[in-house]
Structure 1
C-alpha cells in the first residue's frame, strides 16, 4: 500500500495542483514571459482589428470626397413663330395657313421654351454592382439665376428667373423656362453648385502663398500646416506655438499664434466660390439646333460608391457570420488555454525529472502556502503567508495568481464547450 502512494501523489501533482509547484522552478519565468508575449501579440491583433473597424465606421459618417463631371445641357424649342405658320412679310402664303392668335389659350402667339438639364457622367470602368442610382440635377445646385436680355417695355413678364433649393423640395432632372416673343434673346445662366465638402475661394493674399485658389476649409488648413512644417515655423520648445515668418506675419497679425487659432485665421480668408456662368443665344426666327449644347463642370461630391462598399463590409454584416466569428473566437481562446496548460504540465514534469528532491521541497512549500491562504491562518513566526500579507494588494499581484485565474478560466471554457 505504501508503494502505491507516490504514484497516487504523482498523479495528483500533475492535475490541478501542478501549476503552484512549478511556479518556483527556474523555467517558469522564461516560459511565463513567452506566454505573456503571445497574449500581448493576440491583444495587439484584436486591438488593430477593432481600431480598423471603428475607423471604417467613422468614415461612413464622414464625407469621402471625389471629383465627378457634371454635364449641363442647354436647348430650346419654339412655337407659334411666323416661319412655323407659313407667314412671310405679314402676308399669308395660303388661306389654310392663316392662324388667328388665341389670347386665352396662347395658341398662335409666338413663344419659346428654354430647357436646362444636367447629369453626372458615369465613372469609366466601373463595375455594375458598384453603380449607385444617379442623382437628380436639382440636388447638385444650390441656386440658379437666369437673366434674359430683352426689352422690358415689349416683354413685361420679367427678365430674371431665380430658383433656390429648399428643404424637402421635389427633385428635378431639369428646368424649363417659357416666354413669349419672336426676337433673338441673349441668355445668361448663373449656377451655384452644391459641393461636398463645401468649397471656398481662397483670398489671393493667402492663396498665392499656399498655391491654392479653391478648396475646402479642411484642405486650406492642411495646406497652411504643410507650409508651417516645411518652413520649420513650429516652436521648438512649445510645440503648440507657431511662429510667423515674413509672409505669414501680415496674415497672423502677430509674431506668433497658437496652433488652435489656425482654423479661425483661415476662415477670414475664405470667400464664396465663383459661380458657373453659361451664355446661350436663342433665336426663334430659325429652327432650333438638332443637338443641345453641352458644358462639362467638375464638382466635388461624397463618394457614395465607396461608402456603399464599406457599409456592405462593416455595417451590413450578416448575423450568421457574426455568430460564426464569435464561436471561432471562443474556440481559439479555448485552444490557446489548452496549449498553455499542456505547456505548463510539460515544464512541471521536466523540472521534476531534473531535480526530484528540490522539486518536492518546492512543491511542499507551495502547498503549505496555499493551505495557509485557504485557511487564512499560519504560524506567527517564519510564516510564509500572514494575515497582514493577505491584506496587502501586492499579494494578489504575485505570478501564481494570474496562473490560477487562467486555469480557472480554462476549466470554465472547457465545461462550456462540453470537453
Structure 2
C-alpha cells in the first residue's frame, strides 16, 4: 500500500513538473536530464512489472527439475551356522526362535546434491515420499518357505503410514535368494509413457502431459503445419496422420489427442541376489542404483518468490527518494509560481494590480453570496468606493477566503 501511495505521489509530482516545463520553456533545457530519467524509470517499471508477472505465472505452474535418486539395497544375516561356528550342528530353538537362520533386506535411498548448488536448504525428504508403490518379490521354493514371498507397499496418507527413510524386510532361510524390486516413482509433474507413434515424432519416451503438448506444438510450428488461412486448424503430415487419424484437427483439441497416446510409465526394476550361507570376511557394501526423478524445484521457487517481495531496506530507501523527489518538484513548482508572479508585476505593475484587484473582487463576491448569481447582485458603485473595503466584515471575509485557500492547497 505504501509503495502504491509513493508511486501515485510520484506520478502527480511528475505531472506538475511537466506542467511547469510546458508553461515556461526556459526550464526545458535544464530539466532534459530529469525527463530522460523519468523515461528510463517508466521503462524500468514496465520491465519489472512484466518480469514479475512472468515469475508469478511460472510459480503458479510450480517449476520442476530433474534430480538423481540413489537407491541402496543391502542385506544382513543372523543365526547362520557359520556365524555361530557350529556348522553341521543343530542348536536352533523353535520355541524361542533363537539361532534360527534368517536374513533381512534393507531398501533405502536419498537425493544426490547438485554440484553447483551444494546442500539443499530445509529438511531432506524421506525416501518413501518419492515412491508411489513398491513390490518386492522373493524367488524361493514355496514348499520349503511357505511364508509370503511377495511384499507390497502402497503409499497412503495419514499417521498409520508415516514417511520412512527406508524399508526393512525380514525372512527366515539359509539358501541363495534372488530378489526383484518393482518400484513406481512419484514424479512431479506426473510422467507418462508415450505411444510408439508419438514417441517417434517427438523423440522422447516419457514426459508429462503438458510437456508432450508443448513438444508437439513445437513440432507443428517447425514443420509449418498450422493452417495459413485458418490459424485455428492444424494440418497433418505423414507422421501426425497416424496420431490424429484425420487430415486436420482444431488447435484446441491437441491436449485431447495427446492424452490418447499416453500410458502409465514403466516401473523401476531392480534385481538383487545374495547367499546367506556364505561367510563374509567384512561387511558387504550396499548395491546402489541411480535413477532420474522429476520433482518440484524448491530452490528456484524460493528465489523467484524473494524477487516478488521487495526487500524492506530497499523499499524504505525508495520511499525516501520518492519523498525527496516530491519535495524538490514541489519546490520547483513554487519557485516557478513566484517567478511568474514577480515577472508579471515587473512587466506592467498597473495592469497587474488591476487584474489582481478584479480577481480578489470576484473571489469576495463568491464568498459573500450563497451562489454565483447572488454574488453578482452587489452594487457596482459600492465596489468603486474605498470605504466599501474598510467595512468590519471585510476582514472576516478575507480570513475565510484565506482559510479556504489553505484547505484547498492541503487537499492537493
Structure 2-normalised TM-score? 0.70
CA displacement 1:100-134 (0-9 Å, x = unmatched): x2324321111110111101111114356x63322
| Residue 150 of structure 2: aligned partner | 160
Offset at residue 49 of structure 1 (A): 2.9
1: CA distance, partners of 2:319 / 2:254: 49
Q: Kindly tell me: are residues 184 and 335 of structure 1, through their superposed partners in 2, closer, same or farther at Cα, counting changes over 3 Å?
A: same
2:284 is aligned, of 290, 313, 318, to 290
Which range moves more in the overlay, 71-80 or 241-250?
A: 241-250
Residues 110-125 of structure 1 mapped to structure 2, 5 A cutoff:
110-125=101-116
Indicate whether 1:81 and 2:71 are aligned. Answer: no
| Residue 49 of structure 1: aligned partner | 48
1:126 is aligned, of 117, 123, 128, to 117
2: CA distance, partners of 1:117 / 1:53: 40
SS of aligned partner of 1:247: helix
Q: Which runs of 5+ in 1 are unaligned?
A: 1-17, 93-97, 380-407, 415-419
CA displacement 1:252-284 (0-9 Å, x = unmatched): 222222221111111111111111101011211
SS of aligned partner of 1:263: helix
| Residue 173 of structure 1: aligned partner | 165
1: CA distance, partners of 2:38 / 2:100: 86
Q: Kindly tell me: are residues 351 and 238 of structure 1, through their superposed partners in 2, closer, same or farther at Cα, counting changes over 3 Å?
A: farther
Q: Kindly tell me: are residues 146 and 409 of structure 1, through their superposed partners in 2, closer, same or farther at Cα, counting changes over 3 Å?
A: farther
1:226 is aligned, of 188, 196, 218, to 218
Residues 2-13 of structure 1 mapped to structure 2, 5 A cutoff:
none
CA displacement 1:10-34 (0-9 Å, x = unmatched): xxxxxxxx99x99997959x99xx9
Which range moves more in the overlay, 305-314 or 143-152?
A: 305-314
CA displacement 1:375-410 (0-9 Å, x = unmatched): 767x9xxxxxxxxxxxxxxxxxxxxxxxxxxxx999
2: CA distance, partners of 1:39 / 1:179: 77
Offset at residue 37 of structure 1 (A): 8.9
2: CA distance, partners of 1:300 / 1:202: 16
Q: Kindly tell me: are residues 411 and 151 of structure 1, through their superposed partners in 2, closer, same or farther at Cα, counting changes over 3 Å?
A: farther
Offset at residue 349 of structure 1 (A): 8.2
SS of aligned partner of 2:320: helix
Offset at residue 187 of structure 1 (A): 0.6
2: CA distance, partners of 1:267 / 1:329: 54
Q: Which has the higher contact order (CA 8 A, sep 6+)?
A: 1
C-alpha contact 1:63 1:196 (8 A) present in aligned 2: no
1:149 is aligned, of 120, 139, 157, to 139
Offset at residue 140 of structure 1 (A): 0.9
1: CA distance, partners of 2:407 / 2:234: 54
Q: Kindly tell me: are residues 191 and 38 of structure 1, through their superposed partners in 2, closer, same or farther at Cα, counting changes over 3 Å?
A: same
Residues 14-53 of structure 1 mapped to structure 2, 5 A cutoff:
42-53=41-52
In the alignment of these two chains, the number of paired residues is 353
| Residue 210 of structure 1: aligned partner | 202
C-alpha contact 1:22 1:351 (8 A) present in aligned 2: no
SS of aligned partner of 2:239: coil
Offset at residue 298 of structure 1 (A): 1.3
Residues 11-410 of structure 1 mapped to structure 2, 5 A cutoff:
42-88=41-87, 90=88, 92=89, 99=91, 101-127=92-118, 131-168=121-158, 169-288=161-280, 290-315=284-309, 320-321=312-313, 324=316, 327-328=319-320, 330-331=322-323, 334-335=326-327, 337-338=329-330, 341=333, 345=337
Provide the aligned C-alpha RMSD in A: 4.4
